[in-house]
C-alpha cells in the first residue's frame, strides 16, 4: 500500500541511501518525504508439545516454541517495549529487523502430581484414620517457564541528523555488542558503537541487542480436609519465582548510547514470594 505525503524541506539535500562496510546502510537526512509505504512483517514459529494425561497421579503438558518474527515496525500497544521509530519514513525497509515482541525460545511446563503417600498409595498404604488425614491427599502443582529476552534498538543520546527521524549511532565493524563480562550493569558493549556523522541518522540497525531472558518457577502444594458432605477446607502453600532468580525488566535497560548509564538495568521483576492460605469450599 502506498500513499503520498510531504514535509517541509530543511535544506536542499537529496535523500540517498549509501552502502558502507559490513552491508549496513547510512541514510542521509531528507529534504522531502513522499511515497511512504506500509510496513511488512513475517513470522515463523514451529512448536512441539509433550502431554501426559492423568494416570498414576500424574499429568502434565509441556510445550517448546522456536520463533523468529521480523518486521519494519511493531505495534507497541501490545504490551512490549517499542523498538523505536523510523529513521527516514520514506525507506521503511531500512528498519527491517527482529520484531519488538520476538522471543526466540520459550518453554512452558504445567504439571499436577498427587503425592504417593497415604492409604492405597505407594508409601504408607496401610495408614488409617488420623494418620491418613495428615499425610494423605496432598497434591503438587507447578507452572514453569523459561524464555529468551526481547530485542532493543540502540539510540543516540544526542541526535545530529537535524530531522524528525530517530537518531542512532554507527556500529564499529568487528566489535560485538555483547561485552566480554556481561552483567546487569554492563549488558551492552559501548565500544561497539561510535558517533554518527553530522547530517545522518546512524547505521545501527533496529533491535540488534537481546535483553535478558525470563525464568519462572511457580509451585503450589495443597490438600483438602473434608468437614461435612458438601463442604471442605483447603490448605494451600504457594511459591512464586521459587528459585528467586533475578528477572530484569527489558524496559529498564538503558539503550541510549552516550549516556552515563548506557547498557545498565535499573529494575527487575518481583523476587520470590511465599504465601499460605486456608480456603473454605462449599
16-34 pLDDT per residue, tens: 444 333 344 444 444 444 4
CB 116 within 8 A of CB 123: yes
Using pLDDT thresholds of 50, 70 and 90, give the confidence band for residue 201. confident
- pLDDT one-digit tens code per residue, 79-95: 556 566 777 777 777 88
Quote the percentage of the chain above a pLDDT of 70.
83
Give the per-residue pLDDT at 84. 66
Sequential DSSP letters for 4-21 = ------SSS----EEE-G
Using pLDDT thresholds of 50, 70 and 90, give the confidence band for residue 76. low
Quote the percentage of the chain above a pLDDT of 90.
52
Give the per-residue pLDDT at 31. 45
Q: Mean pLDDT over residues 196-212, rounded? A: 91
Give the per-residue pLDDT at 80. 58
Rounded to whole angstroms, the Cα distance separating 25 from 15 reads: 13
Using pLDDT thresholds of 50, 70 and 90, give the confidence band for residue 124. confident
| Cβ-proximal residues to 56 (8 Å cutoff; 6+ apart), any chain | none
Domains of the chain, by residue range, sit at 2-281
Average pLDDT, the chain: 83
The model's pTM is 0.77
Rounded to whole angstroms, the Cα distance separating 120 from 99 reads: 53
Amino acid at each position: 500500500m502506498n500513499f503520498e505525503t510531504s514535509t517541509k524541506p530543511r535544506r536542499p539535500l537529496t535523500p540517498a541511501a549509501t552502502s558502507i562496510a559490513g552491508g549496513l546502510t547510512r541514510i542521509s537526512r531528507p529534504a522531502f518525504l513522499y511515497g511512504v509505504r506500509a510496513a511488512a512483517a513475517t513470522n515463523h514459529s514451529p512448536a512441539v508439545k509433550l502431554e501426559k494425561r492423568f494416570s498414576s497421579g500424574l499429568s502434565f503438558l509441556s510445550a517448546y516454541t522456536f520463533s523468529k518474527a521480523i518486521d519494519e515496525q511493531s505495534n507497541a500497544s501490545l504490551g512490549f517495549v517499542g523498538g523505536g521509530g523510523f529513521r527516514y519514513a520514506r525507506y521503511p525497509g531500512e528498519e527491517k529487523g527482529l520484531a519488538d515482541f520476538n522471543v526466540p525460545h520459550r518453554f512452558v511446563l504445567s504439571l499436577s502430581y498427587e503425592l504417593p503417600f497415604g492409604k492405597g498409595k505407594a508409601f504408607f498404604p496401610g495408614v488409617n484414620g488420623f494418620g491418613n488425614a495428615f499425610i494423605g491427599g496432598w497434591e503438587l502443582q507447578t507452572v514453569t517457564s523459561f524464555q529468551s529476552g526481547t530485542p532493543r534498538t540502540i539510540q543516540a543520546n544526542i541526535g545530529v541528523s537535524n530531522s524528525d527521524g530517530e537518531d542512532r549511532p554507527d556500529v564499529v565493524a568487528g566489535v560485538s555488542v555483547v561485552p566480554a563480562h556481561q552483567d546487569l550493569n554492563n549488558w551492552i558493549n559501548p565500544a561497539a558503537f561510535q558517533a554518527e556523522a553530522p547530517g545522518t541518522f546512524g547505521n545501527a540497525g533496529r533491535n540488534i541487542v537481546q535483553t535478558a531472558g525470563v525464568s519462572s518457577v511457580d509451585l503450589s502444594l495443597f490438600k483438602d480436609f473434608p468437614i461435612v458432605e458438601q463442604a471442605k477446607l483447603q490448605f494451600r502453600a504457594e511459591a512464586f519465582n521459587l528459585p528467586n532468580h533475578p528477572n530484569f525488566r527489558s524496559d529498564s535497560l538503558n539503550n541510549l548510547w552516550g549516556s552515563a548509564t548506557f547498557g545498565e538495568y535499573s529494575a527487575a521483576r518481583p523476587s520470590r514470594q511465599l504465601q499460605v492460605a486456608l480456603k473454605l469450599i462449599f
